[in-house]
Amino acid sequence: MQLDLIGAVVLTAISALVGGVYVYFLRWSVARRMAMAAAGIAWFALVATCGATGVFDAVGGAGPAGVGVAVLIPFAMLTVATTRAGAMREAASAIPVPVLIGLHATRLLGLFFLLLYSSGRLPAPFAPVAGWGDVLIGLTAVPVAYLASVRAPAWRTIALVWNTLGLLDLVVAIALGVVSSLGGPIGFATSSVDSSVMTALPWILIQCFNVPLLLHLHVLMFQRLRRREPAIAPVIA
């Protein structure tokens, strides 16, 4: 379908943008950043392969449980690496807070949830909640990033509230996606509409690549806000 083709192009570009910016701002040597970029490309290729081969299909594949594992493992690996003292934590601490926030402008891709819902390919409440939630966070990301960059009054409180809402939006969307799939624990899915389209290309790129990375960015934001660091880290010679 035309929407799938557009989605494939946009999601590939967004994945490259978010991953590329993340790696670019790491306080590492060029060689180490290139190695990190290669790992990200391998992760992207693995997700794409799983989507193309039906690994997470609800009937013949791993189903909702497999998707959950595919979301949690990369998120946990990134988060543990950047919360424990070590090279990765130091490298990630160089990413400016406005960048961490601004990258969430890519969540305007929530429009795809709404388009898939309007075409009868995704169910409610999953698609409308996930779609409008992402659009809201995406629209407010740049203004909040600007407030952080100029250190406006109460910018830290605003960023904390925004970050909390953004994280909750992703968590709720994941939960609704699981229960809206065939074989889900509650069964919002119907015989005609479920969330199985999200386990195939190109839409699997949202939940198994972009969502873990965006969740990780929220965790980094909480770390930075808790330490009361400046919005923009000082340059280290």
Residue-wise pLDDT for 121-175, tens only, equals 999 899 999 999 999 999 999 999 999 999 999 999 999 999 999 999 999 998 8
pLDDT tens for 43-56 read 999 999 998 998 88
163 to 72, 216, 234: CA distances (angstroms): 19, 11, 22
From first to last of its 237 residues, the chain has per-residue pLDDT tens of 799 999 999 999 999 999 999 999 998 889 999 999 999 999 999 999 998 998 888 777 777 778 888 899 999 999 888 888 678 888 888 899 999 999 999 999 999 999 999 999 999 899 999 999 999 999 999 999 999 999 999 999 999 999 999 999 999 998 888 888 765 555 554 546 888 888 889 999 998 999 999 999 999 999 888 866 555 544 333
Contacts of 147 (CB under 8 A, 6+ apart): 155, 158, 159
223 to 15, 47, 56, 160, 215: CA distances (angstroms): 23, 28, 33, 11, 13
Q: What is the distance, to the nearest Å, from the Cα of residue 122 to the centroid of all Cα atoms in its chain?
A: 19
Instruction: Name the residue ranges covered by the structural domains of the chain.
Output: 2-226
Burial 47-78 (b: 16+ CB within 10 A, else e): bbebbeeebbbbeeebbbebbbebbeebbeeb
